[in-house]
Amino acid sequence: MSAVAAATPDTRQRLIDAAIALFIRHSFAGTSLQMIADELGFTKAAIYHHFRTREQLLTAILEPIIDKLSAVVDDAERLRGVQARAERMLNGYARLAVENPMLVSVLAADPSVHTVLRANRDWTHMISRQMALLADVHPGPGGYLRAQFVFAGIAGSADPKREADDEWLHAQLVDAGRRALGLRPPRRTS
Amino acid sequence: MSAVAAATPDTRQRLIDAAIALFIRHSFAGTSLQMIADELGFTKAAIYHHFRTREQLLTAILEPIIDKLSAVVDDAERLRGVQARAERMLNGYARLAVENPMLVSVLAADPSVHTVLRANRDWTHMISRQMALLADVHPGPGGYLRAQFVFAGIAGSADPKREADDEWLHAQLVDAGRRALGLRPPRRTS
């Protein structure tokens, strides 16, 4: 069965989905390729066909969400005005959290993932730009703390097992973020 | 050396301190008793003298902070008025985060710790009382989300490696929490 499974085009995606679920339960450091193989009834060879190491698998998992985050950062940086940029960053991050709650919680909360993230220069650079977009609302040391508070708050409250509607959740997260930052709501929603 | 080390009264505390540092780097699930032994130059037998399993060690680590959290919850529940109770809970949680940033981040952010926490009925009961104290500020589904946002925000922004003064950080965290909750600052600080 495993040889057939490895040849199926969506095997890679099934591996990724199973890995994310295990990372959330056991953290990245606590999940072995063997555990992922067991979860899907694959042999380890079938996994090696797609990913040589756990780090390769983690990179494959994080890349799409980091690409989306980069796009939000680029988009926000194109705007003029600290308030408008923060508003765009906040909206975009809340959207990512609502649409990918499992991924955002792995990215934001798993200490062993942070260790891998910090080893990638492009990623740390992007994350510091992301922080600055909110931190600039309050120049000085309080601004950076406020930005950390808001990103951690959003990542930690987008529950993957929620019953709430996406639009409702997004509006709540943005509203909580605006209040914590002291950001005026825009006249029109963009 | 290890036999002497195991007999020294503060060996237990050294084990706990080394374990917390490793949990933060590798998560609970990614840290073995062997890794803790290696970190301190102990034999595994010296560790077994104090803790039979990793779960026993985690319980020993979490118990003091959960006891402190319970004391804050009890204290806040004794007050009258939703606003006063939320204010006391917020202040107490921010104080714990400032004084024990490593522990609070393990408690709040490590997915493998959550699995252990949820298995303990007394702890889940205490955590739901803690949530209610902030959630009651906004009756309805938005209140619970707002409470999650604030606790995650505080836990995620009390950086163990900060240079900031404790009182400044506490004031910042409480202020961000009040704003996110829409809580009026009290006339006098309690």
Angstrom distance (rounded) from CA A171 to CA A190: 13
Residue A51, SS3? coil
Among B24, B149, B169, the residue with its CB nearest the CB of A153 is B149
- Is the per-residue pLDDT at B3 higher than 50? no
- Can you give the pLDDT at residue A82? 96
Domain B61-181: CATH architecture, name and number where available: Orthogonal Bundle (1.10)
The pLDDT tens digits of the residues spanning A102-117 come to 778 777 777 677 777 8
Residues of chain A with CATH 1.10.357: 59-181
* pLDDT value at A69 more than 90: yes
Nearest CA distance, B141 vs chain A (angstrom) = 9
Complex ipTM, two decimals? 0.85
Mean pLDDT of the B151-170 span: 85
Query: Residue A7: exposed, middle, or buried by beta-carbon count in 10 A (0-12, 13-18, 19+)?
Result: exposed
Distance from CA of B24 to the nearest CA of A (A): 6
Sign, Cα dihedral of B150, A85, A96, A143: negative
Binary contact (A30, B25; C-beta < 8 A)? no
Residues A94 and A167: their CA atoms lie apart, in Å, by 10
In the numeric block, which tokens belong to residue A63? 């890349």
Residues B113-124 have pLDDT tens digits of: 777 788 888 888
pLDDT digits (tens, 9 = 90+) for B68-119: 999 999 999 999 999 999 999 999 999 999 998 877 877 777 767 777 788 8
Check residue B4 and give its pLDDT: 47
pLDDT in tens, B18-72: 988 888 777 787 788 899 999 999 998 888 889 888 888 888 888 888 999 999 9
- Are A79 and A91 contacting, i.e. CB atoms less than 8 angstroms apart? no
Q: What is the pLDDT of residue A7?
A: 52
Task: Write out chain A residues lying below 8 Å of B169, CB-based.
Answer: 145
DSSP of A71-82, one letter per residue? HHHHHHHTSSSH
10 Å Cβ neighbour count for B139? Answer: 9
Q: Count A/B contacts: CB-CB distance under 8 Å.
A: 128
The CATH 1.10.10.60 domain(s) of chain B lie at 2-52
Q: What is the mean pLDDT of residues B125-138?
A: 94
> If interface means Cβ-Cβ distance under 8 Å, which residues of chain A face chain B?
23-31, 105, 108-112, 115, 141-142, 145-146, 148-157, 159, 164, 169, 172-173, 176-177, 179-180, 182
Q: How many percent of chain A have pLDDT more than 70? A: 91
**What is the pLDDT, as a whole number, of residue A143?**
93
Burial A80-101 (b: 16+ CB within 10 A, else e): eebeebbbbbbbbbbbbbbebb
Q: What is the pLDDT of residue A2?
A: 45
The structure tokens 């799409």 sit at A64
Token pair 């008025």: residue: B81
Measured between alpha carbons, how far is B124 from B112 in angstroms, rounded to an integer?
15
Kindly report each contact of residues A137-142 with a partner whose C-beta sits within 8 Å and lies 24 or more positions away, as own/partner: A137/A82, A137/A83, A137/A86, A137/A181, A137/A182, A137/A183, A138/A181, A138/A182, A141/B164, A142/B172
Out of 3.40.630.10, 1.10.10.60, 1.20.1090.10, 1.20.120.1200, which CATH number does the structure's domain A2-52 have?
Answer: 1.10.10.60
Domain(s) labelled CATH 1.10.357 in chain B stretch across: 61-181
Give pLDDT, residue B188. Answer: 63
pLDDT in tens, A135-157: 999 998 899 999 999 999 998 88
Q: Using CA atoms in the order B106, B150, A113, B25, what is the torsion angle rounded to 10 degrees?
A: -30
Of the residues B35, B157, B163, B172, the best mutation for testing chain A's interface (the one with the most A CB atoms within 10 Å of its CB) is: B157
Residues 6+ apart with CB under 8 A from A131: A144, A147, A148, A151
Give the pLDDT mean for A37-64: 88
Mean pLDDT computed over B134-142 = 92
Handedness of CA A141, A142, A145, A151 (dihedral sign): negative
The domain A59-181 is placed in CATH, from the list 1.10.357, 1.25.40, 2.70.150, 1.10.3470, at 1.10.357
Number of residues that this document lists for chain B: 190
